[in-house]
Amino acid sequence: MTTMISIEDALALIRAECAALPAEHVPLRQARGRVLAVPIDAPRALPPFDNAAMDGFALRWHAGIAPGTAIPVLGEQAAGDGVRGQTMGACSIMTGARIPDGLDTVVPVEDCTVLARDAEGKPLAIALAAAPRQGQHIRLAGEDVALGERVLEAGAVLSDEALMVLRGIGIGEVDVHRRPRLALACTGRELVDTDGAALASGQIANTNGPYLEGLFAEAGAEVVACVTIPDEPARLVAQLSDWFNASLDLVVTTGAVSMGRYDFVPDVLRDVGATIRFHKLKMRPGKPLLFATKGRTRVFGLPGNPVSSTVGARFFVDAAIRRLGGQADEKAMALPIAAEARKKPGFSMLQKARIAIDAEGRLVVRLLKGQESFKTAPLLTANAWVVLPEASESIAAGTPVSVYPLRPGTSSIAREFPP
C-alpha cells in the first residue's frame, strides 16, 4: 500500500495482525509488569482472620460494661500467635494479633488503667476509662478482600501494588501472556554505538538504539537483539532472514525507510518476501513509517530522525506490543490546550508537550518549543504527547486535545505539574 493513510487506519491494520500470545505459568516474583491471561478470584480472605487494629485488651462486649469496670486479664495474644479461645475477662493483645475466639472488642491501652501486674510486668487486671463500642478496633476477616472476590481481570498489568494484594490472598503463581519477542536493527554507516566515543566527520551517536530498546522493554516486550547495520542491503537481508527463521513476534528497523538513494529497507523487505501493509502516514513527525508482515513476524520500519523514530515506537510498535501481550488498547486523555496551536491541515501532528497546572489550578497541556524531529532536548521537559487532529488548521486555547503519557506502560503521566 503506497497511499498515505491516517493514524487511525494504521492502528487498525496493526491491531488486526496482533492477536494475544499464549499464556505461561510463572512464579509471582517473576510476574512484575506482566499481563494476566486469566482473572483471579481470592482463594482466601484478606485479612485471613479477625485481628486487633491497635495495642490494647480484647474482651467480650456486653451491655453492662461501664467506665470504671474492673476486668481480670486472663491471657496474652501477640502477632503470629495461633487460635486462642476465651469467653471471660480480657486478653492483652498486640496490633495485628488474632482476636481470640469468643472475644469481639478491643479497648486501646490508653483507655485502660492497669490495676495489677505480675512479677514480669504483665497486666493482671484493668479498669476501663470509658465504655467501649461493640466491635471497635477490630479488622474483620475479609474486610479488605473477601473469600472468592474477583480481584483482577484478565488483561490487568501486574504492578507492585497488584503483587502486594495477590501475595496477601495467597497467590504464588499466575498465568500471564507471553511477552512478544522483539529484535531491533538500527541502520546507517554514520552511527557510532560506543557511548562517549570520539566522532569522525559525518558520524553521530546512535541514540535511537538504546532508547528504543528501553522503551520496548518498558512497554512489555522481550528484546532479544539490538544491532547496528551499515547501509548495506545484503547485511540487512541476512539479519532479517535469521529473525524471520526464528519466528520472532516483532522486528523493528530504524532509518533507510524514506525515499532517498540509501533508503533500502522497503526494497529489502520485498526481496525477503515480506508484505508491506502500509508505508507513509498522514502524520508528522514520522510520516515515512512502514508496517509489514512475514509469516508470524510483524515488521516496523521507523524513520531515522530520533523524534520520528520515538513517535513510531511509542504509538505504533507499542500498539502491537499491547495487543500481543494481552493488554487493552491505549486510550487518550482529553485535556484543554493552554495556548492556540496552528498546523497544516491534512496531517496529524504529534507534539512534545507538558501537562501542567494553570494559574486557576486547572490541569492543562502545553506544547513545547522545539518540535522538529531532530530535537531531543525538549524531551527532558516533556511528560506527554499531544495529537493535533488531521483536519484542523487552528486549535483555540482551551480546546480539549488527545493527550498520552510520554512513555508506554505508565499509569500516571507525571508526579508533579508545575505551572
Q: pLDDT of 209-235, one tens digit each?
A: 999 999 999 999 999 999 999 999 999
Q: In the chain, where are the structural domains located? A: 7-21+178-324, 24-46+143-177, 51-139, 333-405
Helices (H), 274-370: 306-312, 318-324
Q: Does domain 24-46+143-177 have CATH number 3.90.105.10?
A: yes
Report yes or no: 101 and 86 within 8 Å, Cβ to Cβ: yes
Classify residue 133 by its DSSP letter.
Answer: P
The residue type of 80 is G
Collect all residues with Cβ–Cβ distance below 8 Å to 70 and sequence separation of at least 6.
115, 125, 126, 127
Report yes or no: 350 and 283 within 8 Å, Cβ to Cβ: yes
The residue type of 217 is A
Q: What is the tens place of the pLDDT at every residue in 130-161?
A: 999 999 999 999 999 999 999 999 999 999 99
Closest CA to 283 of 1, 11, 22, 15: 11
Q: Does domain 51-139 have CATH number 2.170.190.11?
A: yes
Report yes or no: 67 and 127 within 8 Å, Cβ to Cβ: no
Strand duo 204-205 + 191-192: pairing: parallel
Q: Does domain 333-405 have CATH number 2.60.40.10?
A: no
Grid cell for residue 369: 518549543
The one-digit pLDDT tens for each residue of the chain (419 residues) are 468 999 999 999 999 999 999 999 999 999 999 999 999 999 999 999 999 999 999 999 999 899 999 999 999 999 999 999 999 999 999 999 999 999 999 999 999 999 999 999 999 999 999 999 999 999 999 999 999 999 999 999 999 999 999 999 999 999 999 999 999 999 999 999 999 999 999 999 999 999 999 999 999 999 999 999 999 999 999 999 999 999 999 999 999 998 777 689 999 999 999 999 999 999 999 999 999 999 999 999 999 999 999 999 999 999 999 999 999 999 999 999 999 999 999 999 999 999 999 888 899 999 999 999 999 999 999 999 999 999 999 999 999 999 999 998 754 454 455 55
Task: Provide the CATH number for the domain formed by 7-21+178-324 in this structure.
Answer: 3.40.980.10
CA quadruple 52, 54, 55, 59: dihedral sign: negative
